[in-house]
Amino acid sequence: MAAALAACTTVTPPGPAGDTLSGRLAVKVDADGAQPARSVSAGFELTGSSTAGRLNLTSPLGTVVARADWSPSDVRLVTSDGETRYGDLDTLTREMLGESLPVAALFDWLRGRPWPGAPSEPTAPPVEAGFDQLGWSVRLGRLSDGWVTAQRARLPKVTVRAQVEP
């Protein structure tokens, strides 16, 4: 992922139709045994749905440095190094970060609600407002400012922080 973000190429084909979420995204994977800590931050634009969509990652100057496209029959990543196809979104994020991210659930989490595809539990006070789902704690205490934080409890700990633009 770091190599993709360091690239300086522009990839600009149009995205799939649907709602678009955009803002800033930071992903941190804690060190685990022989694996060092890994992190990436970028601008993002998430379009479509969990079944067919696009995720663009952009540099601070707004240049698209990586694009993930998916449909029921195809998952691909386009960077300055070319195009790579994957079997599913879990495999793509695992290859990029060394850990899988629940991309399908992110569409709902970034809107401040649980994903309807899995059971969830609301957090109880005094814990910050939010919910637990898929082994992740999603915190919404700063949702009015666009902030959503999701943290996976199992090791290695993974933290996703996003600020969604209004």
Q: Which two tokens stand for residue 92?
A: 């793509």
Instruction: Give the separation between CA 18 and CA 100, rounded to whole angstroms.
Output: 24
For position 18, what pLDDT does the model report? 53
Residues 6 or more apart whose CB falls under 8 angstroms from that of 61 comprise: none
Instruction: Give the separation between CA 81 and CA 96, rounded to whole angstroms.
Output: 13
Instruction: Give the separation between CA 12 and CA 18, rounded to whole angstroms.
Output: 17
Position 1 pLDDT exceeds 60: no
Q: Specify whether the CB–CB gap between 104 and 89 falls below 8 A.
A: yes
* pLDDT one-digit tens code per residue, 44-53: 999 998 889 9
For position 145, what pLDDT does the model report? 94
* pLDDT one-digit tens code per residue, 93-142: 888 777 889 988 999 999 999 999 999 999 987 778 999 999 999 999 99
For position 32, what pLDDT does the model report? 85
First to last CA, the chain: 26
Instruction: Give the separation between CA 139 and CA 14, rounded to whole angstroms.
Output: 32
Residues 6 or more apart whose CB falls under 8 angstroms from that of 166 comprise: 146
* pLDDT one-digit tens code per residue, 3-33: 333 333 333 333 444 589 999 999 999 998 8
Q: Which two tokens stand for residue 106?
A: 């992110």
Instruction: Give the separation between CA 4 and CA 42, rounded to whole angstroms.
Output: 10
Instruction: Give the separation between CA 45 and CA 30, rounded to whole angstroms.
Output: 25
Q: Specify whether the CB–CB gap between 35 and 28 falls below 8 A.
A: no
For position 13, what pLDDT does the model report? 37
Stretch 87-98: mean pLDDT: 84
**What is the phi/psi pair of residue 11, to 5°?**
-125, 115
For position 15, what pLDDT does the model report? 40
Position 62 pLDDT exceeds 70: yes
Distance of CA 100 to the CA centre of its chain: 10
